[in-house]
Amino acid sequence: MIDLIGGIFLDVLGYTTARLLVPIVTFGRVRVQALRAEPQGPNWFGFSRAADGSRQLEATMAGWYGLFVWIVVVIVVLALLR
């Protein structure tokens, strides 16, 4: 049950957030891999080279990065409401 809920948060909330924010923050230099695509040998931070030479962020790591953004947003909102 916890795995299902965690997977939903990671895939839906985190991945979608990263899919939208990563290209904006990196000015299009880094793209996020498709959700169920085969990883292409990423490094520890989830980055690898795409076939066209651009940087690509692995889908699972993108989900974690996106979830981290939401955790920071919640902490900032709670701090401001205090």
Give residue-wise pLDDT tens across range 26-62: 888 898 888 776 766 777 787 888 778 788 988 888 9
* Beta-strand relationship, 55-57 and 47-49: antiparallel
Q: For the chain, what is the mean pLDDT?
A: 85
Q: What is the pLDDT of residue 59?
A: 86
pLDDT at res. 7: 77
The most confident of the ranges 11-15, 45-49, 54-58, 72-76 is 72-76
Longest C-alpha distance within the chain, in Å?
48
Looking at the predicted structure, is the pLDDT value of residue 73 above 90? Answer: yes
Q: Is the dihedral of CA 59, 18, 15, 81 positive or negative?
A: positive
First-to-last alpha carbon distance for the chain, in angstroms, is: 33
Please state, in angstroms and rounded to a whole number, the distance separating the CA atoms of residues 43 and 27. 21
The Cα-based distances of 12 to 35, 50, 52 in angstroms read: 10, 23, 27
